[in-house]
Every structure is written in C-alpha cells, then in structure tokens.
Structure 1
C-alpha cells in the first residue's frame, strides 16, 4: 500500500489478542507477541519504534480505519525529508515535510552548510505562541530562527532533493546544538 508520493505506508495489524504484525506496504517487517501488560499506547509506541528502526523513517501519524474501541489496524504515514539550495542567499535548507506539504521542522545554514542560522520547529513555534503570545515567539525565533509559514517555501523551487530521515536528523541535532550553544554563550 503506497500513497500518491510513493512513500511507504506502515500498518500494525492485531491478528489475535496477543500477536501484532508490523507491515511496510504489504511486506511483514516484524511480529510482536504481547506479554500480558501492554496497553494500547505501549503497542502504538512499539510500532513507531520499529518503523523508525526499520528504515529510519519517522511516522507523521497513526490512523485507524476501524471505528471500534478495540482497534484492529493502524496505518502510519511517514514524513518526507528534503534539501535544497537557497541560491540568492548562498545557503542550504533541510526540511521535514508532512503529508499536506507543511514544513514541520526546518534547518538552514549558510557558507556551504557550515554556519547554522535556523533549526526551527512549527510545533514549538505554535506552543510558544499559545503559552506566551508574540513575545514568546520572538524569543524562540531569536534562538532557533524562523520556521516557514507556508506549506513549502518558495525558495525550495524548482525541485528539492529527497534525503533520508537519518540525514535530516543528523542536521537537526547539529543545528540545535550549535544554536543552543550560541544562546548560552551570549
């Protein structure tokens, strides 16, 4: 099972009360046998962890097409990861993009990717806004830069280059560490 972007879809299927199967598309990638104390939340976390370990893909969300409380199938939709050059600024950008095209996490660096200028998360910006308003957003952006406010930034044209989740995660961690260290030193 694939979506229109040909990204893998993960499914967790409970075959009986004690056995879960994790599929990537139509391929079985793992089997988990319940050992008595797992809650539904534990099982969902297991599925996300296995999907990440299987090909280093983060799952955007898990959906259940079943309406009953005792679910049978979860479908995981992974994020996409990409990079592009910002020609007029001599910078590069890396992004984690959800299924609607919104950039969830964004990294930007200038001088051939050597100096990080942004490592912003849309979720963190929204949380800052909800907790402290405009001033909290300004404080966040002073440390981590600006998250794109459009689904895919116009500077990502003509076509961003796909990258792995692992490559994005390395960039993200490096940029967050660098920007956090810059904040502590000022």
Structure 2
C-alpha cells in the first residue's frame, strides 16, 4: 500500500472522507508516525492530526493504540493471501523477496524498524504484531515451497519452518545492519545459494 496516498487522501475535507477512504488516511498517518517518532511516541492525537480527522473517529474504529497499529501494518504490507504466480519456484521466491524488499526500502520499512526496537520493552504488543502481521506473511514462503513440491520442483520432506524462514531472516538481517536499499543481487543470492540447495529434488 503506497504511503504516499496519505498526502492525497488527507487533502480532502475530513467531513467528506468516510469508510475506506478515511480508514486509509488513518492507516497512512499511523505509518508516518511510526517512521518518525516510533511506537512509544505515537499518540492517537498525533494520528488524528496527521490524518486530518478527529480522535473520536479513530476510537470508533479502534479501542487502543496497539490494535490500530497492528491493523495499519497489516494494511500496509503485501497481503499474505496473494502468492506470486511465475514459471518456477525460483522465480516465485525471488519475486516474493523483491516485494518484501520494496516494502523495507519504503517508509513502511522505517515503521517496521521502529517496532523492532520495541521487542524488549513491550513483549505483549510484539506478540500481537507477530501473530497478526509477521507470522502470516512468513507462511507465504512455506506455501510457495509446498506448491513447488506438488509441481515436482521441490524435494518432498525438505520444506520446514527453518527453510521457509531463511528468506525473511536474511532480509531482516540486511535491513537492520545496513540502511541502504536492499539490492536485487542479494535477493537472487539468497534464493540460489541458500534456499535452492536445500530443496532441490
């Protein structure tokens, strides 16, 4: 979801924005606030001001900050229900990593980075984020690999949580260690040098 939509959506009069349009403006405001002040600094007042709506409009939809942030992240990240459709498992894995790298290279990535800093300070919140946002998207890798088994491209018995987690783990490690954009060559190397040797028939 393009965070840039914040500026387009928030330019309209608040009274004319309802339903999904207003909801998207609020989600974009959350991502912007996370990227600039982090989860600890994010307030409902600031989100309302950034989205150019009222705090009451936010509380009608979300009872607390944690639920709002989780829904905003779920909205901003690629849907776990959409699997790449390519000619091979290799191409699908690279495409999926590219989609995730594009997100990490955006303002949404900076928002995610701010949340990772909260792991030790607010464990119940991070468990909620992991259950509702991160875990379903990591499962996409397993589903692609299982589909590859059915097509004869992936060795039966080779798919495990560890193998499915290699791609996301490598992306996060690179993202946290280097703020520059994730290069395409790295994505190809993760697939060709780390994942494929473990799953080839």
Q: TM-score range by the shorter chain?
A: under 0.3
Task: Give the structure with the larger strand fraction.
Answer: 1
What is the TM-score when the length of structure 2 is the normalising length?
A: 0.26
Task: Give the structure with the larger helix fraction.
Answer: 2
